[in-house]
Structure 1
Amino acid sequence: MSEPSNIIKRVIGKTVKAIRIKQGLSQEDLAHECNVDRSYISMIEVGRNEPSVTKIFDLCQGLKIKPSDFFKLIEIEYDKAHENG
């Protein structure tokens, strides 16, 4: 797997976790909102799983954030991670 793909998976996970914690949600709470298992949320947050676009929209709904805002956050964090090597 290419390095940019690994960076994206880590950035998505970091961003999901940060928003979830900021909103006071547990992984179980978010999983319930997205109709997935808690372990799926965990695997996303640690960068072991890359959610599909459909699941990203589900996550955004569960996190009460617009997908466009979520992708803006991902882009910012990706650029930071890419610059830092």
Structure 2
Amino acid sequence: MNDHSLIIKQVIGKTIKATRIKQGLSQEDLAGLCQVDRSYISLVEVGKNEPSVSKIFELCQGLKISPSAFFKIVEAEYEKLKQNHND
């Protein structure tokens, strides 16, 4: 796996975690809303598991955020990290 893929996995995980916390949800709460195990949410949030596009849509539904808004956040965070890396 290249650095690009690793960074994206980490940004997706951090974005899910930040959104979940902002909404006052536990990992258990989000897991229940998305019908997945809590450990799956944990692995995604720390960047060890990369959710499929369909799973991202389910996570967004559980987080009450549109997939387009979610990906805009991910893209902005990715660009920040890329910019910081190039400086």
Normalized against structure 1, the TM-score is what?
0.98
Structure 1 runs (4+) deviating above 4 angstroms are: none
Unaligned runs of 5+ in 1: none
- In the TM superposition, what is the alpha-carbon distance from 1:83 to its structure 2 partner? 1.3
Aligned-pair CA distance for 1:81: 1.1
Deviation by residue 1:24-74 (Cα, 9 ceiling, x = unmatched): 000000000000000000000000000000000000000000000000000
Corresponding residue for 2:76? 76
User: Would you say the 8 A contact 1:7–1:82 is kept in 2?
Assistant: no
Aligned length: 85
1: distance between equivalents of 2:80 and 2:11? 10
Indicate the SS of the match to 1:81.
Answer: helix
Give the match for residue 29 of structure 1: 29
CA RMSD of aligned residues (A): 0.5
Q: State whether residues 30 and 62 of structure 1, in contact with CA within 8 Å, keep that contact through their aligned partners in structure 2.
A: yes
What stretches of structure 2 of length at least 5 have no aligned partner? none
SS in 1 for 2:16: helix
Identity rate, percent: 71
Q: Partner amino acid for 2:5?
A: S
